[in-house]
Amino acid sequence: MTWAFETELDYRCGRAKAFGDGSGGLLMDQRMTCGWDGVWSPTAVLKTCICRGIKLCVASSRPYSELNFIGTHCDKPPAPTNGTELEPVWDGTSLIDFDSGVNYTCKRGQKFEVDFDRQIQNATCRDPNVWDIPTEWLKCVESKPECKCNSLGNYVNSRIL
C-alpha cells in the first residue's frame, strides 16, 4: 500500500497499553507523516506497545515471550467474593489510574453486616495492574425493617406523650 504526501497516520496501542519511548517513559499515541521524499517522519518504525500486567498484548505480531509487560493503568476492579452482595462504583469501561481506588457499596436496600453506618469498602489499583484488596470482603445484609409494635391498648389515667 502506498500513501500520498502529507498523509498522517496516528497509532494507538489500545486499552491499558502505551508505546514505550525507549527511555522508560510512555507515549499514548504515535504519529507519522509521509514526506515529499516518500520517507515517514519522524520515523517509519513504530515503537513497541507495552502493557502493564494485563495479558492483552497477545494479539501483537511479536511472540508472546518477547512482549514487555509495562503499561499505564489497571483494566478493571476485582470481583468481591461470592455472597457479599457488593457492587463496584465503576462505569464498567474506564481505566483506573495507579494508586486510585474503586469503592464498593452494598446493593440497594442492604447495609454492611458489621456496621450499618458504613458506606463503602475500597480496593486500590497499584503498579503494575495489581490490586490491594481487603483481607476480607465485608458482607451486605438486608436492612433491618422498622419495628412494628402492636397497640398497647387503652390504659386508665395515661396518655401517649
Tell me whether residue 157 is in a domain. no
pLDDT at 65: 41
132 and 92 within one domain: yes
**137 and 84 together in one domain:** yes
158: in domain: no
Looking at the 3D structure of the chain, how many domains does it have? 2
47 lies in the same domain as 84 = no
d(CA 106, CA 110): 6
User: Is this structure's pTM higher than 0.75?
Assistant: no
Q: Give, in order, the Cα–Cα distances in Å from 121 to each of 23, 46, 70, 117.
A: 38, 42, 28, 12
**Same domain flag for 82 and 135:** yes
Question: pLDDT 10s per residue in the chain (161 long)?
Answer: 677 888 888 877 766 677 777 777 777 778 888 888 888 888 777 777 776 444 433 444 444 444 444 556 777 888 898 889 999 998 888 888 888 889 999 998 899 998 888 999 999 988 777 889 999 999 999 876 555 666 666 666 666 66
Q: Residue 133 belongs to a domain with what CATH number?
A: 2.10.70.10
Distance CA 74, CA 131 (A): 8
Q: Same domain, yes or no, for 49 and 93?
A: no
Query: Which residue range(s) make up the domain with 47?
Result: 8-66
d(CA 16, CA 24): 16
Residue 1: inside a domain:
no
Same domain, 78 and 138: yes
- Give the closest residue to 121 by CA, choosing from 89, 158, 155: 89
